[in-house]
Amino acid sequence: MLEKVRVNLSNRSYTIYLGSGLLKKNKIQNFFLHEKKYILITNKRLKDIITQHNVDHAFFLSKMNQIYLLKDGEHYKNLKEIELLITFLLKNSYGRDATLIALGGGVIGDMTGFSASIYQRGINFIQIPTTLLSQVDASIGGKTGVNHSLGKNLIGSFWQPLSVFIDIQFLSFLPEKQILSGIAEIIKYAIIFDREFFNWLEKNINLVIKLKKEALLYCIKKCCEIKAKIIAKDETEKNDRILLNLGHSFAHAIETYTNYQEWLHGYAVSAGIVLAAYLAHSLGFLDDSELLRIITIFHIVGLPILGPKNMSANDYLSLISRDKKVLNNKIRLVLPVSIGKSIVYTLTDNSQLITAINNCYQKNFFDI
């Protein structure tokens, strides 16, 4: 069964397709035409998976003009690798009629989308996300970019894909840590926007972790619907879309501090959301029971509820001060005020943040 979610953005609207085995000939042949120039952007591990483990993908590969392999890992998400990809496109004489196909997780999707946005002032690209995190979040909404040594995703653009194909078969090749990384983003959606979804997750989260098809598709579709609705209202993050960054200011600080190599994004988001929730609690926005439910759901699935032990409150402050949400030298953070509702809060005094982080690191949450 093929599920669809529409992202409504006027002449940039597109469809998210969800299902199992979407790259098989009988499901995808209508989307990839002979006269188009398709360049597949992926990494060696994923190329090996589709060539060695699933012969049904031969049709999909046959439609690609060429395959370009990116290096695998968040620490390769930089301008140097973008330049190498663009050099490849130029040397092979690809013009504005080319379409890049991003087959991979968030790193591949971000880098492919960013390259598409700047190559000859913009060419088309398609997202085929293969990790749970990219299926529920990173592949949707047109955020593209690369990291800088001073911060994550500080160089980028908004560039919407032509379409998104979410094939849950790819998830069976992932280690559990990658599944849990995606779970963090799923929980994020529920905390920000949907209390009933949070209640559902408390009861069914293990079915999603075990990749049970019905629960998994329901969960991914729910996240896609939430994000599509927000993007339609605020494509370039001027208002409501900022709320999707719950925990991310802290998470990006953690990833930058650890040089993009030690913490998976979702793991950093988990710790970041707990820090945001604890700050909200310390400011009187979030009550004890709501804070405990937020902490518990991350804890029971095995996600971290604290950042690196050696990372100080001043380390967080320094890195968060470079965050894209900072305006007029004032730190703005997304904070949950209850499960299903969040706000953007401007710090009146940075000591609020320092005190909350120090207290959070010393707290036994389950004594609340």
Question: Would you say 281 and 302 are in contact if contact means Cβ atoms under 8 Å apart?
Answer: no
Q: What is the 3-state secondary structure (H, E, C) of 36-97?
A: CEEEEEECHHHHHHHHHCCHHHHHHHHCCCEEEECCCCHHHCCHHHHHHHHHHHHHCCCCCC
The active-site residue, picked from 74, 185, 235, 255, is 185
Residue 364: what pLDDT? 63
CATH superfamily name and code, 176-367: Dehydroquinate synthase-like - alpha domain (1.20.1090.10)
The active-site residue, picked from 245, 255, 281, 290, is 245
Residue 12 a catalytic site member: no
The active-site residue, picked from 27, 252, 281, 332, is 252
Query: Within 13 A of 178's CA, how many CA atoms are on the CB side?
Result: 17
- H/E stretch holding 123 reads none
Over residues 321-327, the mean pLDDT reads 82
The string of pLDDT tens digits covering residues 186-243 is 999 999 999 999 999 999 999 999 999 999 999 999 999 999 999 999 999 989 999 9
- State the CATH architecture for 3-173: 3-Layer(aba) Sandwich (3.40)
Domain limits, CATH 1.20.1090.10, in the chain: 176-367
Helix (H, G, I), strand (E, B) or coil at 101: strand
Work out the burial of residue 55: count CB atoms within 10 Å of its CB; fewer than 13 is exposed, 13-18 middle, 19 or more buried. Answer: exposed
The string of pLDDT tens digits covering residues 87-110 is 999 999 999 999 999 999 999 999
The active-site residue, picked from 24, 57, 152, 248, is 248
Closest CA to 215 of 223, 225, 227, 204: 204
pLDDT of residue 55 exceeding 60, the answer is no
Where do we find the tokens 């593209």?
144
Instruction: Report pTM.
Output: 0.93
Residue 322 a catalytic site member: no
Residue 281 a catalytic site member: no
Over residues 263-290, the mean pLDDT reads 96
The active-site residue, picked from 77, 143, 152, 332, is 143
Buried b (16+ CB within 10 A) or exposed e, 172-211: eebeeebbbbbbbbbbbbbbbbbeebbebbeeebebbbee
Residue 276: what pLDDT? 97
Residue 83 a catalytic site member: no
pLDDT band at 54 (very low <50, low <70, confident <90, very high): low
The percentage of residues in the chain with a pLDDT greater than 90, rounded to a whole number, is: 81
The active-site residue, picked from 77, 152, 265, 332, is 265
Where do we find the tokens 């793991």?
267
The active-site residue, picked from 237, 281, 290, 332, is 237
Residue 58: what pLDDT? 76
Where do we find the tokens 């599509």?
228
The active-site residue, picked from 37, 212, 241, 324, is 241
Residue 277: what pLDDT? 97
Residue 53: what pLDDT? 66
Residue 176 a catalytic site member: no
Query: Within 13 A of 224's CA, how many CA atoms are on the CB side?
Result: 28
pLDDT band at 24 (very low <50, low <70, confident <90, very high): confident
The active-site residue, picked from 188, 222, 227, 281, is 227
Residue 350 a catalytic site member: no
Residue 34 a catalytic site member: no
Q: Which of 22-31, 146-155, 265-274 has the highest mean pLDDT?
A: 265-274
Domain limits, CATH 3.40.50.1970, in the chain: 3-173
Residue 53 a catalytic site member: no
pLDDT of residue 365 exceeding 80, the answer is no
Over residues 26-38, the mean pLDDT reads 76
Residue 287: what pLDDT? 96
Contacts with 352 (C-beta within 8 Å, 6 or more apart), sequence order? 279, 282, 283
The string of pLDDT tens digits covering residues 78-93 is 999 999 999 999 999 9
